[in-house]
């Protein structure tokens, strides 16, 4: 079977070749994905002797003699016994990997930084090990490794050499391996990573392991430094955008070098727009920052509606030889947070945002790139244009996707701290992310206890100073839930973040008192609901979609009403876009995950979803709940609620009108209706014209399954994923809203099941099993491709029900 190569890729390659980008340039810098073929060992290992400076062998050396003993395999160097090594204690894994998602649930409220915070799974210590070869031809090059995210407190050895320790679970760990590697015939290399996740950084499920990508980068000793470009657009008009490019070049030779730096501006199709060239001398073991300025005629602006992107292609030459290349994606847009609100490209632009943790059904925090894209797609379909990375820095691929798909990002630092380690983490975040056009603001902390405290103010001011030195193009904020007007805390940042500022209408009062204060609703709502549930059930850990009225939150839609009434608030970030593991509220066990999401862990919408879709999109919509299956409640009154963006609604039961009324924008409609099996219809009118309708019907018993995959084909890259949603339907094809059948999966072909889910916050089934109970009519299975072409056949069966199959073509 011939490989499938997109035509756009061929065209782009030809265009880039014509401007001197491909050809020999590809050999100068390589960035290899280092995710595959790792070994994993759960639990601690006594390795001090094996990795002591100057020794080789055991876990950190491939060049060992292995002798079978009576109880274990013992690894020896030529002279000394160095470590017990039982291959059976290690399993083969590919990254990203979250081992905690496979651990059993433990009913112990003391697990986590706060009661039940970690979702009743006990984190611990684990090791990752990988053997790899480096070509003799790479001797003399600079070789580095970057771990995008390890949770947490990681220690790395290479060939017995201790490379370093990295406490942060959310920022990348980077090591220069050049001097400790073995090249060619010198032998294999071994990297060993210890992960100690016994401590916490947050109060939610954080996972365990190397849960983001790993990259091995090779460059010439004369190269663009790590995060070495900074691209801004200091002047933008319809006629022209001025592009400022600052490039840091590092010389790791023992001799001075004179380089030629060429920066090429290209559009999304690869067409050359502008070229800037400069020569510069660099002393031995030194680096310089070189500033260049170019222009883009008739620039295409970046926005969530038009996510237009450009690139800077960087070429570094020395003595006429191309020694390094580098690529930077950027966008042309203007942002301004003012006392009147947020302006994007000169126009008032209220932010319709959600705050999100990083986990998903079936995989924990180890999300393949496809699942990040899937989550963003669901948010965009709801009308969302903003994403807050709560409460920690995101994976870089998420920001790439926000650039490409069009979502404004509030990029959030984890901790309020001005220690050396804390400031270094902040600097890494800023340098890594500052070229993304999607990022419009830096959030430096969230709900820290020192808000409104003079000590907290000093710490925050130091962090703001650090941010401004690195990036002058974006404002800073802090997501505060108290202390807005004490200790000078709010004065330290450019924009004051209000978490639940509707309490006592704090942000309205503060706007009157401090008219020059710039504001944003950094967090709102916290509406708790369990998908498909319409009565509270403490024993099962379920919360009704009518809501419990938590004291600090608002109803869905009502939060947006405040943004419309008070545009100076700039926009809002609803807590939260999706349910997440840990922090079960208001119930604990048997609940193991949160109820805050507009969608559940699988991305299935709750009833409140439609309040936001009604508020955030122009498509006419009516939604009413609960469902219409209530045996035993015939002829009894029941509460019904609805959301709409129409100006008038009508409700009918079995064809008879039971309600017709005008609608106040962003408020729900609620009334008691006598239940009669059959049909409930909601109609929406604009200007007296019927423009939307929704039908609820009383179903019969479950009869068959249907499978709906988000794609029909996958790439044979070993990483692509299909999300397959399973529905339980009656004989007429209607989803049975209370169905809880157990669904079993079988798979054939070049793929594998990597996880299952159902959105039930009290489910303690295995995420990695080949079966799942449906929850209120639905469940989900995730299928990942292998590295060979062919057809994947996924079958789903359930006792007494007709099964179903889906075919995925792997190219």
Residues serving a catalytic function are 447, 523
Nearest alpha-carbon partner for 314 in 306, 304, 302, 322: 322
Angle formed at CA 69 by CA 66 and CA 75, multiple of 5 degrees: 30
Element (H, E) at 431: helix 420-433
Q: Return the CA Rg of the chain.
A: 28
Residues 6+ apart with CB under 8 A from 639: 546, 670, 671, 672
* Omega prior to 152 cis, within 30 of 0: yes
Burial of 542 (0-12, 13-18, 19+ CB in 10 A): buried
Sequential DSSP letters for 348-389: E--EEEEEE-S-BTTTBT---HHHHHHHHHHHHHHT--EEEE
CB of 98 closer than 8 Å to CB of 119: no
CB of 175 closer than 8 Å to CB of 165: no
CA–CA distances in Å: residue 266 to residues 16, 90, 230, 766: 9, 47, 16, 48
Strand partners, 343: 336, 348
Q: How many CB atoms lie within 10 A of CB 178?
A: 17
CA–CA distances in Å: residue 627 to residues 225, 489, 604, 624, 631: 58, 48, 15, 8, 12
For residues 755-779, one letter each, b for 16 or more C-beta atoms within 10 angstroms of the residue's C-beta and e for the rest, the string is bbbbbbbbbebbbeeebbbbbbbbb
CA 483 to chain centre: 29
As given in the structure block, the two tokens for residue 713 are: 């084909």
As given in the structure block, the two tokens for residue 472 are: 């002058």
DSSP 57: -
CA–CA distances in Å: residue 228 to residues 231, 398, 585, 708: 10, 20, 43, 44
Q: How many CB atoms lie within 10 A of CB 650?
A: 18
Cα–Cα dist 149/357, whole Å: 14
Cα–Cα dist 68/253, whole Å: 47
Outline where 38-159 has alpha helix (H): none
CB of 590 closer than 8 Å to CB of 566: no
CA–CA distances in Å: residue 255 to residues 198, 252, 282, 394: 46, 8, 9, 39
Cα–Cα dist 221/459, whole Å: 37
Cα–Cα dist 453/487, whole Å: 5
| Numbers of helices and strands, H then E, in the chain | 8, 49
As given in the structure block, the two tokens for residue 90 are: 């290690």
Residues 6+ apart with CB under 8 A from 524: 499, 500, 501, 502, 553, 554, 559, 562, 572, 573, 574, 575
Nearest alpha-carbon partner for 575 in 356, 725, 768: 356
CB of 779 closer than 8 Å to CB of 724: no
DSSP 95: S
Nearest alpha-carbon partner for 378 in 596, 122, 604, 99: 604
Nearest alpha-carbon partner for 757 in 602, 581, 564: 602
């Amino acid at each position: 079977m011939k490989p499938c190569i997109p035509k756009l890729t061929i065209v782009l390659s030809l265009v880039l070749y014509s401007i001197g980008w491909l050809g020999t340039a590809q050999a100068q810098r390589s960035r290899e994905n280092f995710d595959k073929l790792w070994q994993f060992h759960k639990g601690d290992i006594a390795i001090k002797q094996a990795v002591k400076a100057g020794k080789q062998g055991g876990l950190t050396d491939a060049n060992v003699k292995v002798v079978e003993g009576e109880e274990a395999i013992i690894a020896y160097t030529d002279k000394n016994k160095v470590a017990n090594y039982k291959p059976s204690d290690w399993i083969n894994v590919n990254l990203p990997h979250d081992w905690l998602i496979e651990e059993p649930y433990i009913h112990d409220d003391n697990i986590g930084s706060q009661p039940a915070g970690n979702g009743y799974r006990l984190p611990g210590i684990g090791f990752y090990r990988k053997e790899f070869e480096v070509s003799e031809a790479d001797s003399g090059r600079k070789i580095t490794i970057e771990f995008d995210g390890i949770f947490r407190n990681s220690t790395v050895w290479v060939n017995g050499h201790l490379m370093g320790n990295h406490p942060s679970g959310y920022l990348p760990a980077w090591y220069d391996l050049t001097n400790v590697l073995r090249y060619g015939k010198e032998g294999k290399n071994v990297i060993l990573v210890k992960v100690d996740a016994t401590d916490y950084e947050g109060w939610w499920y954080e996972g365990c392991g190397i849960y983001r990508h790993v990259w091995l980068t090779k460059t010439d000793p004369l190269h663009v430094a790590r995060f070495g470009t900074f691209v801004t657009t200091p002047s933008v008009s319809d006629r022209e955008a001025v592009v400022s490019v600052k490039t840091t070049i590092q010389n790791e030779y023992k001799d001075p070098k004179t380089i030629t730096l060429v920066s090429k501006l290209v559009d999304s199709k690869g067409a050359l727009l502008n070229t800037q060239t400069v020569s510069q001398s660099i002393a031995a073991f030194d680096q310089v920052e070189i500033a260049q300025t170019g222009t883009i005629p008739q620039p295409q602006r970046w926005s969530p509606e038009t996510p237009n992107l450009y690139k800077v292609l960087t070429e570094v030459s020395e003595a006429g030889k191309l020694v390094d290349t580098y690529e930077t994606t950027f966008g042309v847009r203007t942002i301004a947070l003012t006392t009147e609100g947020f302006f994007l490209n000169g126009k008032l632009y209220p932010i319709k945002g959600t705050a999100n943790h990083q986990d998903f059904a079936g995989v924990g925090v180890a999300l393949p790139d496809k699942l990040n894209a899937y989550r963003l797609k669901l948010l965009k379909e709801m009308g969302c244009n903003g994403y807050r990375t709560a409460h920690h820095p995101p994976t870089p691929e998420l920001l790439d996707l926000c650039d490409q798909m069009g979502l404004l990002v509030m990029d959030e630092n984890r901790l309020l701290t001005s220690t050396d380690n804390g400031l270094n983490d902040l600097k890494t975040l800023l340098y890594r992310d500052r070229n993304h056009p999607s990022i419009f603001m830096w959030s430096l902390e969230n709900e820290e206890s020192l808000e409104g405290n003079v000590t907290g103010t000093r710490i925050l001011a130091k962090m703001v100073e650090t941010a401004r030195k690195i990036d002058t193009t974006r404002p800073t904020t802090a997501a505060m839930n108290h202390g807005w007007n004490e200790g000078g805390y709010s004065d330290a940042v450019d924009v004051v973040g209000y978490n639940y500022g509707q309490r006592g209408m704090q942000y309205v009062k503060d706007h009157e008192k401090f008219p020059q204060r710039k504001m944003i609703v950094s967090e709102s709502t916290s509406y708790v609901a369990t998908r498909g549930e319409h009565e509270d059930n403490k024993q099962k850990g379920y919360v009704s979609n009518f809501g419990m009225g938590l004291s600090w939150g608002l109803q869905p839609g009502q939060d947006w009403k405040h943004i419309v009434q008070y545009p100076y608030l700039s926009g809002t970030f609803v807590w939260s876009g999706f349910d997440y593991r840990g922090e079960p509220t208001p119930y604990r066990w048997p609940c193991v995950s949160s109820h805050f999401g507009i969608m559940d862990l699988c991305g299935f919408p709750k009833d409140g979803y439609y309040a936001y879709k009604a508020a955030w999109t122009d498509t006419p919509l009516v939604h009413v709940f609960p469902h219409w299956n209530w045996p035993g409640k015939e002829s009894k009154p029941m509460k019904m609620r609805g959301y709409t963006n129409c100006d008038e609604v009508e409700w009918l039961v079995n064809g008879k009108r039971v309600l017709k009324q005008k609608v106040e924008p962003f408020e729900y409609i609620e009334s008691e209706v006598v239940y009669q099996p059959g049909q409930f219809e909601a109609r929406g009118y604009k200007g007296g014209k019927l423009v939307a309708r929704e039908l609820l019907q009383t179903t019969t018993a479950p009869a068959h399954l249907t499978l709906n995959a988000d794609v029909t084909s996958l790439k044979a890259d070993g990483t692509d994923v299909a999300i397959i949603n399973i529905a339980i339907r009656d004989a007429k094809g209607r989803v049975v809203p209370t169905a809880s059948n157990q669904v079993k999966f079988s798979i054939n072909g070049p793929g594998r099941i990597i996880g299952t889910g159902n959105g039930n916050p009290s489910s303690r089934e295995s995420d990695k099993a080949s079966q799942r109970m449906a929850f209120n009519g639905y469940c989900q299975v995730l299928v990942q491709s292998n590295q060979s072409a062919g057809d994947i056949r996924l079958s789903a069966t359930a006792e007494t029900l007709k099964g179903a199959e889906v075919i995925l073509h792997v190219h």
